[in-house]
Chains A and B, each alone.
Chain A
Amino acid sequence: MRNPQLNDKGELQHLLSIEGLPRETLIHILDTATSFVGVTAREVKKVPLLRGKSVFNLFFEPSTRTRTTFEIAAKRLSADVINLNIAVSSHTKGETLLDTVDNLSAMHADMFVVRHAESGAPHLIANHVASHLHVVNAGDGRHAHPTQGLLDLYTIRHYKKDFSRLSVAIVGDVLHSRVARSLIHALTVMGTPDVRVIGPMTLIPAGAEKLGVKVFYELERGLRDVDVVVMLRLQSERMRGALLPSAQEFFKYYGLTPEKLALAKPDAIVMHPGPLNRGVEIDSAVADGAHAVILSQVTFGIAVRMAVMSILAGN
């Protein structure tokens, strides 16, 4: 099965998921992002790479943060940005997804940044659009959030340099997390020997070990001697779906407090994709503490997205 992300020349045509991307491609994106970090530190934070190009943010699932970072990244590349928040209701049989995409393509879009509640929606769009259009997956259902995975990878590389000796723990609602899936793929491709997922059994997906991770149901055991702790956001809906009894019990057993963090290596870093649920998955003392690199993730996120967009646009 041909990887739909690559064109006939093996170049990146779309960024749909980290899966299936060779290690060299990931490294290329990270290295390109390094150059863009330099740009964002200047006074004139723009480069003309995408001037004249139109980037359409198609957000079928609302999100201000992610959409804003993509907007900033595109504008720093001098692209024109159009934001579309498309409320999708299964009851209102309006335009189909592909009809919407066709209409927007006709408005001379060059790139679609797509966020959708259903896994696989960006793949469907990528298979459908004309060959000059590029699709960036900004998060599809539980499946993937590749730019997040890349910026997490960038952050870890920035602070820890060498993946081949790292121990990384991903904590929380792994079952529903596209962030977790993308990061797991990214880490395994980069040769990380010890990737762990930690959470109650209800929140660990079936066959998780097949992704190349070790499963822990106890936070204390899972955090022992890790170099990187990635806390996942716990959504309030989980308490309603017979998956968890309460946020309080979750915090008591899976929340990251300074005491729990002390089990990790002394120079461990703490990451979180945001937005934080203080007192649910993470204690304020940790979120605001010296180990947390959460704000760096945001800065790196813009550079990584600039790198992704410019690599795609140039292919």
Chain B
Amino acid sequence: MTLVLPDPESLCARLVSQLKPHVSADTALVGIHTGGVWLAERLHSALGIALPLGQLDISFYRDDFDKTGLHPQIKPTQIPFEVNGRHIVLVDDVLYTGRTVRGAMNELFDYGRPASISLAVLIDRGGRELPVAAQYVGASLDVPPGRMLVLDREENGKLRLKLDA
């Protein structure tokens, strides 16, 4: 069964229009490495967010550390704004089991107590293992279990979706 992958550029545009009515001067955007950061950069400039972009690497907060060990590539986590009392929009490329988002929320809470956290994702592929939901979704896609859906970024900055076995 061949899966037809949507165009991330148009999904991105859809997210922008979903988010626009809900962002203010105090809203913070935080992207989850790596695909979530690329997406967050696009949303950040398209929405004209005032606060600098936050980036999270959740390697230290994964729940499968015992099985997979420490990930070899750890990118820096940067939260260049005050978290306490802040409305934060977490951004990720693909929402699947929900564990990445749980780790990201745990890490955010180590920086302070946000007023609220909402989640924006390009693709919701279902298969949730935790009670996590996204408030802003580009598209829902039924991806067979065992296959990995990843966001890729080309040289010219264009976003592309890839399905790995």
Residues in A whose Cβ lies below 8 Å from that of B65? 49, 313-314
Q: Secondary structure of the A side of the interface?
A: helix
Binary interface profile of A, 36-79, with partner B (CB < 8 Å = 1, else 0)?
00110011101111000000000000000000000000000000
Contact present for B69 and A32 (CB under 8 Å): no
Number of A residues near B (Cβ < 8 Å) is 20
Most buried by B among A11, A44, A315: A44
Contact A47 B60 (CB under 8 A): yes
Contact residues in B for A35 (Cβ distance below 8 Å):
57, 59-60, 74, 76-77
A98 to B74, CA, bound (A): 37
A32 touches B74 (CB 8 A): yes
Asked if residues B110 and A38 are in contact (CB atoms below 8 Å), the reply is no
Q: Is the CB of A38 within 8 A of B77?
A: yes
Q: Which of A1-52 contact B (CB under 8 A)?
A: 11, 28, 31-32, 34-35, 38-39, 42-44, 46-49
In the bound assembly, the distance between CA atoms of A36 and B81 in angstroms comes to: 20
A43 to B111, CA, bound (A): 7
Q: Let me know if B135 is at the binding interface, CB within 8 A.
A: no
Contact yes or no, B60 A39, CB < 8 A: yes
Interface magnitude class on chain B? 10 to 19
Partner of A44, one of B66, B74, B111: B111
How far is A31 from B76 in the complex, measured between Cα atoms in Å?
A: 11
Minimum C-beta distance from A74 to chain B (A):
14
The answer for the CA separation of A46 and B111 in the assembled complex, in Å, is 10
Q: Is the CB of A38 within 8 A of B76?
A: yes
Residues A49 and B60 in contact in the complex (CB < 8 Å), given A32-B74, A314-B70: yes
Across the interface, which residues of A come within 8 angstroms of B60, CB to CB? 35, 39, 47-49, 310
Any chain A CB within 8 A of the CB of B72?
yes
Q: Tell whether B45 is near chain A: CB-to-CB under 8 Å.
A: no
- B2 at interface by CB-CB < 8 Å: no
| A 283-315 binary contact with B (CB < 8 Å = 1; else 0) | 000000000000000000000000000110111
B116 proximal to A (CB < 8 A): no
- Complex CA gap A310/B65 in Å reads 9
CB closest chain-A residue, reference B63: A48
Question: Which of B70, B74, B76, B110 has most chain A Cβ within 10 Å?
Answer: B70
Q: A35-B74, A42-B110, A314-B70 are in contact. List 19 more A-B contacts (CB 8 A).
A: A11-B69, A28-B72, A32-B74, A35-B59, A35-B77, A43-B112, A44-B110, A44-B111, A46-B110, A47-B60, A47-B61, A48-B106, A49-B65, A310-B60, A311-B70, A313-B65, A314-B66, A314-B68, A315-B69
Interface, chain B (partner A; CB < 8 A)? 57, 59-61, 65-66, 68-70, 72, 74, 76-77, 106, 110-112
